[in-house]
Amino acid sequence: MTEQEPGPPRAAAAPRGNAGLPEDVAVPSAPVEDGLALRLADPGAVDTSLRSPEQRSRTFAGILVNTALANITTSYLWFALTFWVYIQTRNVIATGVVGGAYMLLIALSSISFGTFVDRYRKLAVMRFAAGFTLVMFLLSGVMFLLTPSALLLDLAKPWFWIFMLTILVGAVVENMRNIALSTTVTILIEPERRANANGLVGMVQGLMFIVTSVLSGLSVGLLGMGWTIVVALVLTALACAHLLTLRMPEEVHAAATDAQGGFDLRGSLAAVLAISGLFALILFSTFNNFIGGVYMALMDPYGLEMFPVELWGTYFALGASGFIVGGALIGKFGLGSNPLRTMLIAVILMGVLGAVFTLREWAWLYIAGIWLYLVLVPFVEAAEQTVIQQVVPLNRQGRVFGFAMAFESAAAPITAFLIAPIAQVWIIPYARSAEGAAQLAPLLGEGSSRGIALVFLVAGIIMIVAALLAFLTPVYRRVSATYARTAAGEPGAANTA
């Protein structure tokens, strides 16, 4: 089966867009007048009576497995590129730029991704993203084959940046699938089980970290970057082929939407502002990602200073198993009656862990800290997704998820671009000097990475303070009340909050 099963002709279809995806005529969305399960402005777009909840859950499982394979492959190649660049250059500026550029491109493209998700059928969006990623990874393989390694690793030459951007663009477009995945939860999963489904998404992310950490380190250390690209190509092709076999007949047609063009910033902002307090929730998550950028820029260099690359990948995989545990806990128990409260508690605990897991340069402390930290990450991400799925109409969810991804992704690279040069030029040399080592020893102990540990400590304290202050804000109370009313099915709850 290579297409979604056709449904009744409920809406006229426009000609196919330039992406080759079937697009429905865009019409202004009607106000949402109820708190029913799907919260659709175009109720004819989705027909959940076509299959039972169990059948829809199986379809969601298939989509989730396929997305897991795609995410694993993308992260596998991206992690390998990061490891390869650092091993060859021993420069945290290079790794900071690589990681920061990835997040920056996600930020710049996420609103477009969300717009396309709202305008087109979700499986069609996923298939387009999978095919585009395959093409870009193929181009990167050709470039690696034809360009000498010395040129690819020279940051002063254009070849490194072209090679990096080719892989980066393929990896970024693959993220369009993640926005579409969040909307398939709304279509396929019953409202009372969506938090649990979002927990399963967290488990997939954990599996991604485990597999990619081990495989990326082993690939770079034992096979080299060339064969790593070959493996990524094969896995990407398998994901594309499997995606063609999936179907989602419940989505009769793309929901009528007010999304315009390919970059509907105005519509995205309007969709967010329509829900009282939602913009503030996104801003808090954005601030949290500012702190996350510190870890993105410096966690790999810290681990690679402590372990050989093959062992670092394995140890990080051990720590990343916390992702699976966190996702499994949500899948089993959900997020409670107030996901936002659960999210803030998790952020506080993450701040504590981030502040203390490098107080001493002990391998067990670092790995245990990563494990506990990653147990909590799915709670934060699933809480935000569950709130959006509950209070935002389906025909706007793509743009809301895209808008949130744009803001939140933009935060991490800004921090990474700032902290990597600061750490490389000032903090790390200071901590390794005789004077700096003596001053830091009482608090952070001794070791070659005390400068990075100091950055982690400050970042964790900032995270704790921010989450505690968020509990005291009126926005926290408003969003919590809005979620409670829409979960109870009160008429107009999301629009009157």
Please provide residue 489's backbone torsions phi and psi, each rounded to the nearest 5 degrees: 75, 25
pLDDT recorded at residue 344: 92
| pTM of the predicted model as reported, rounded to 2 decimal places | 0.71
Average pLDDT over residues 64-68: 90
Which conformational region is residue 256 in: left (phi greater than 0), alpha (psi within -120 to 50 degrees), or beta? beta
d(CA 118, CA 106) in angstroms, rounded, equals: 18
pLDDT at residue 100 greater than cutoff 70: no
pLDDT recorded at residue 355: 93
Q: Choose between 125 and 497: higher pLDDT.
A: 125
Average pLDDT over residues 172-201: 86
d(CA 88, CA 75) in angstroms, rounded, equals: 20
Helix 309-333 and helix 363-391, axial crossing angle in degrees, nearest 10: 40
Q: 361, 450 in Cβ contact below 8 A?
A: yes
- The first and second tokens of residue 342, run together, are 């659960």
Cα dist from 474 to 25, 469, 478, 480, whole Å: 39, 11, 6, 10
Which conformational region is residue 219 in: left (phi greater than 0), alpha (psi within -120 to 50 degrees), or beta? alpha
The answer to which of 34-43, 159-168, 187-196, 449-458 has the lowest mean pLDDT is: 34-43
d(CA 395, CA 328) in angstroms, rounded, equals: 29
Q: What percent of the chain has pLDDT over 70?
A: 83
CA–CA–CA angle 418, 351, 472 (5° rounding): 105
pLDDT recorded at residue 412: 64
Q: Choose between 402 and 494: higher pLDDT.
A: 402
pLDDT at residue 293 greater than cutoff 90: no
pLDDT in tens, 106-117: 777 888 888 888
CB-neighbour burial class of residue 8 (10 A; exposed 0-12, middle 13-18, buried 19+): exposed
**What residue has token string 């901590």?**
431
d(CA 234, CA 231) in angstroms, rounded, equals: 5
pLDDT recorded at residue 44: 66
Helix 194-218 and helix 309-333, axial crossing angle in degrees, nearest 10: 170
Q: State the chain's mean pLDDT as an integer.
A: 79
Average pLDDT over residues 375-393: 87
pLDDT recorded at residue 239: 92
Give the pLDDT band of residue 488 (cuts 50, 70, 90): confident
- The winner for highest mean pLDDT among 237-246, 258-267, 305-314 is 237-246
Average pLDDT over residues 242-247: 90
pLDDT recorded at residue 68: 87
Q: Give the CA-trace dihedral at 258, 263, 265, 271, to 10 degrees.
A: 40
Q: Residue 424: how many CA atoms within 13 Å on its side-chain side?
A: 19
pLDDT recorded at residue 71: 86
3-class SS of residue 36:
coil
pLDDT recorded at residue 286: 77
pLDDT at residue 246 greater than cutoff 80: yes
- The winner for highest mean pLDDT among 50-54, 91-95, 335-339, 392-396 is 335-339
The letter for the amino acid at 120 is Y
Helices (H), strands (E): how many in the chain? 19, 0
d(CA 253, CA 240) in angstroms, rounded, equals: 22
Distance of CA 348 to the CA centre of its chain: 20
d(CA 407, CA 282) in angstroms, rounded, equals: 8
- The first and second tokens of residue 277, run together, are 């307090």
Give the pLDDT band of residue 371 (cuts 50, 70, 90): very high
Q: Choose between 57 and 217: higher pLDDT.
A: 57
Q: Choose between 19 and 456: higher pLDDT.
A: 456
pLDDT recorded at residue 36: 42
Length of the chain (residues): 497
Q: 366, 302 in Cβ contact below 8 A?
A: yes
Average pLDDT over residues 398-422: 77
Q: 269, 403 in Cβ contact below 8 A?
A: yes
Q: Choose between 339 and 204: higher pLDDT.
A: 339
Cα dist from 16 to 20, 28, 29, 245, whole Å: 6, 20, 21, 22
Average pLDDT over residues 70-83: 85
pLDDT recorded at residue 37: 40
Give the pLDDT band of residue 28 (cuts 50, 70, 90): very low
d(CA 107, CA 289) in angstroms, rounded, equals: 12
SS (H, E, C) 179-201: HHHHHHHHHHCCHHHHHHHHHHH
pLDDT recorded at residue 90: 67
pLDDT in tens, 448-475: 788 889 999 998 999 999 899 999 988 8
pLDDT at residue 424 greater than cutoff 60: yes
pLDDT at residue 145 greater than cutoff 80: yes
pLDDT at residue 17 greater than cutoff 50: no
Average pLDDT over residues 467-496: 76
Average pLDDT over residues 424-448: 86
Give the pLDDT band of residue 137 (cuts 50, 70, 90): very high
pLDDT at residue 380 greater than cutoff 90: no
3-class SS of residue 46:
strand
Distance of CA 242 to the CA centre of its chain: 22
pLDDT recorded at residue 2: 36
Sequence-ordered list of residues with C-beta below 8 angstroms from that of 150, at least 6 positions apart, any chain: none
- The winner for highest mean pLDDT among 130-139, 290-299, 387-396, 397-406 is 130-139
d(CA 109, CA 131) in angstroms, rounded, equals: 17
Other beta carbons less than 10 A from residue 272's beta carbon: 21
Give the pLDDT band of residue 242 (cuts 50, 70, 90): very high
3-class SS of residue 251:
strand
Sequence-ordered list of residues with C-beta below 8 angstroms from that of 208, at least 6 positions apart, any chain: 68, 71, 72, 75
Give the pLDDT band of residue 284 (cuts 50, 70, 90): confident
Average pLDDT over residues 437-454: 87
